[in-house]
């Protein structure tokens, strides 16, 4: 079974939601209930949508220019993000993700499914959320583009790897992480970055970054990764989380204590999920063994709220 920090956090918040997302949903057309759950699992809030536009613009437009040591024109970046936002909005509005033969992998650029179009909140409220989201996309990208120090630092990297899945095994669990960016340097250890797009970034993300570091250190090396990274220890890997709306960077160092903490966190997370038999197949599981959240605030923006009432 694949274990990621985001799905474990979801499991801790609402086991039922985790069950819908990870065990019930199926693209197959044979079972209409499982197909419906799959389609609902694709929905995202406007805040999630905003974050993905920023991530994609950085990965697909800015990082390639940094890799080629080129200058970056901020108007071109904002224009790229604007076209991307429009394409994704139109895709979501037409609910194209429901098309039977649509292949998600062929729609990396415009794939989008918005909670709003499924649950139809008030149009006025959605319009104001959409305007706010677009303003925040521009703020996040402009903060990044105006940070000459970080841009110049990334230009000194000899290889930049964006959104790469890293996996390693603990017992029967595949621990998975997808760092936003890994910068490899000729004379220095790798540096892992994570972009965050929200104002109230008081949450500490070092657990997530530590799992990325463990994954980079323990995964089977990808073919394109430089060979000489093996000369570094996990303690050398640099970790930074960039709060793009607040324009602050938090960097974390790795020591014995945090390695112990993260190993404990992983062991505890795996154990909790094993106790619920999470590694078993949907057909072997009983929905009643996955508790619904006690905090009804979690249900307000939950994609599964319609079917959750009936099950
Ligand atoms: S509606 Fe509430 S209880 Fe049901 S899956 Fe969503 S968060 Fe959990």
Q: How far is the CA of 9 from the centre of ligand 1 (A)?
A: 14
Q: Is the CB of 308 under 6 A from ligand 1?
A: yes
* Cα–Cα nearest to 58, from 43, 35, 78: 78
Structure tokens at 283: 């057909």
Query: Cβ(14) to ligand 1 under 6 A?
Result: yes
Angle (deg, nearest 10), helices 148-155 and 123-145: 60
For ligand 1, atom 5: residue with the closest CA = 17
Q: Is 16 in the pocket of ligand 1 (CB under 6 A)?
A: yes
The conformation of residue 279, written as its DSSP 8-state character, comes to T
Cα–Cα distance for residue pair 205/207, rounded to 1 Å: 5
Ligand 1 pocket residue status of 164, Cβ below 6 Å: no
Minimum-distance ligand 1 atom for the alpha carbon of 16: 5
Say what the pLDDT of residue 311 is: 66
Q: What is the pLDDT of residue 125?
A: 84
Ligand 1 neighbourhood includes 40 CB (under 6 angstroms): no
Any ligand 1 atom below 6 A from CB of 293: yes
Are 219 and 170 in contact by the 8 Å Cβ rule? The answer is no
What is the per-residue pLDDT for 205? 60
CATH for the 157-268 domain, from 3.30.1020.10, 3.90.320.10, 3.40.800.20, 2.30.30.40: 3.90.320.10
Q: In a mutational test of the pocket of ligand 1, which residue from 119, 292, 307, 309 has the highest number of ligand atoms less than 8 Å from its CB?
A: 292
Rounded to whole angstroms, the Cα distance separating 6 from 75 reads 33
Domain spans in the chain, listed from the N-terminal domain onward: 17-147, 157-268
169 C-beta neighbours (distance < 10 Å), count: 11
Direct distance between the N- and C-terminal alpha carbons of the chain, in angstroms, rounded to an integer = 25
Tell me the pLDDT of the chain (311 aa) as tens digits.
889 999 999 999 999 999 999 999 988 878 999 999 999 999 999 999 999 999 999 999 999 999 999 999 999 999 999 999 999 999 999 999 999 989 999 999 999 999 999 997 778 888 899 999 999 999 999 999 999 999 999 999 999 999 999 999 987 889 999 999 999 999 899 999 999 997 665 555 688 999 999 999 999 889 999 878 888 999 999 999 999 999 999 999 999 999 999 999 999 999 999 999 999 999 999 999 999 999 999 999 999 999 998 76
Q: How far is the CA of 299 from the centre of ligand 1 (A)?
A: 5
**Does residue 292's CB lie within 6 angstroms of at least one atom of ligand 1?**
yes
- Give pTM, 2 decimals: 0.93
Those residues with Cβ within 8 angstroms of residue 202's Cβ, 6 or more apart along the chain or in another chain: none
């Amino acid at each position: 079974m694949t274990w990621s920090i985001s799905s474990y956090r979801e499991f801790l918040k609402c086991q039922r939601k985790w069950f819908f997302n990870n065990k019930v949903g199926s693209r197959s057309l044979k079972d209409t209930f499982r197909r419906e759950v799959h389609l609902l699992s694709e929905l995202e809030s406007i805040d999630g949508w905003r974050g993905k536009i920023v991530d994609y613009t950085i990965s697909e437009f800015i990082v390639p220019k940094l890799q080629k040591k080129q200058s970056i024109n901020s108007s071109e970046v904002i224009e790229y993000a604007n076209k991307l936002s429009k394409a994704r909005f139109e895709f979501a509005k037409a609910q194209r993700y429901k098309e039977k033969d649509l292949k998600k992998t062929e729609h990396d650029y415009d794939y989008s499914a918005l909670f709003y179009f499924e649950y139809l909140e008030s149009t006025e409220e959605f319009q104001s959320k959409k305007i706010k989201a677009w303003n925040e996309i521009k703020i996040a990208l402009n903060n990044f583009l105006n940070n000459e120090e970080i841009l110049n630092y990334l230009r000194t990297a000899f290889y930049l790897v964006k959104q790469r899945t890293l996996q390693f095994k603990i017992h029967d669990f595949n621990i998975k992480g997808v760092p936003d960016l890994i910068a490899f340097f000729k004379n220095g250890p790798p540096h892992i970055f994570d972009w965050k797009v929200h104002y109230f970034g008081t949450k500490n993300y070092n657990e997530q970054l530590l799992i990325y570091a463990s994954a980079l250190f323990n995964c089977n090396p990808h073919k394109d990764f430089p060979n000489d990274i093996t000369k570094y220890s996990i303690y050398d890997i640099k970790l930074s989380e960039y709060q793009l709306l607040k324009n602050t960077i938090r960097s974390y160092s790795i020591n014995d204590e945090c390695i112990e903490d993260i190993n404990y966190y992983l062991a505890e997370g795996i154990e909790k999920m094993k106790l619920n038999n999470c590694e078993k197949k949907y057909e072997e599981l009983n929905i009643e063994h996955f508790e619904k959240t006690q905090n009804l605030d979690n249900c307000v923006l939950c994609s599964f709220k319609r079917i959750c009432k009936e099950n």
